[in-house]
Amino acid sequence: MVESSSDEILADADKVDVAFLVVGDPFGATTHTDLLLRARSLSIPHATVPNASILTSIGCTGLQLYNFGQTVSMVFFTDSWRPSSFYDRLLENCSLGLHTLILLDIKVREPSLENLARGRMVYEPPRFMSVAQCAQQMLEVEEERGEGVCGRERLAVGVARVGSEGQKIVAGTLKQLAEADLGPPLHSLVLLGKRTHDLEREFLADFAVEREGFEGIWRKDYEGR
């Protein structure tokens, strides 16, 4: 909506109060920054109220926030569109031993490409990417790139509905997370870097799909790196 309706959002905003409510950080998306810049160029007064954000709430996993690198996004793959630029960011973070927070795709009030081509504003049903789908797409890209960034035995953490009473955390290999059901949205995933702390292992072990296997991989590939 922001991309296609920014003019509509700002219409008469110089005369009446207009509120734009987002999930997460107000400046977590470049489109939100663009909206503010448009308001500024039109001399529309504006104010920003910070919101709870997965960028900091991901600390619920026990992973230390100063061990995180660049945040990346994962979009829904299609038969003809399988962007893998996220892999390069994962590679950079992994080279420094840093964790990577991966934000998962959300499709709300979006027309299909077919309807857009025909000029019909018919919206598809809402879709929210799951941890399992994200992990599966990561494994598929790893098969194509083959640089060892997100292989089957790489450790990761999936989270769902962070901050709610139904919050869920699951730790395991990407192969395990590709088969995990974390329930309703919203989901996010963290690929673990290898610069870890014992407290992170101790915290996550209680959420492991299979604790003994999780701790074995940690000791072999992550401990003391």
More confident position, 221 or 3: 221
What's the sign of the alpha-carbon dihedral 21, 167, 99, 103?
Answer: negative
Helix, strand, coil percent content, the chain, rounded in steps of 5: 40, 15, 45
The mean-pLDDT minimum among 50-54, 142-146, 181-185, 188-192 falls in: 50-54
115 confidence band (pLDDT: 50, 70, 90): low
Location of structure tokens 């809402």 = 126
23 confidence band (pLDDT: 50, 70, 90): confident
Task: Give the pLDDT confidence score for residue 65 in this predicted structure.
Answer: 95
54 is in an annotated binding site: yes
113 is in an annotated binding site: no
86 confidence band (pLDDT: 50, 70, 90): very high
Average pLDDT, the chain: 90
In DSSP terms, which residues pair with 155 in a beta bridge?
173
Q: CA 199 → CA 64, 69, 190, 203, distances in Å? A: 9, 19, 17, 6
The whole-model pTM stands at 0.86
How is domain 54-222 classified at the architecture level of CATH? 2-Layer Sandwich (3.30)
53 is in an annotated binding site: yes
104 is in an annotated binding site: yes
Task: Give the closest residue to 131 by CA, choosing from 107, 89, 103.
Answer: 103
Parse the chain into domains and list their residue ranges.
2-41, 54-222
177 is in an annotated binding site: no
Residue 122, pLDDT > 80, answer: no
Q: How far apart are CA 203 and CA 62, in angstroms?
A: 6
75 is in an annotated binding site: no
- The tens digit of pLDDT for each residue in 29-40 reads 778 888 889 889
44 is in an annotated binding site: no
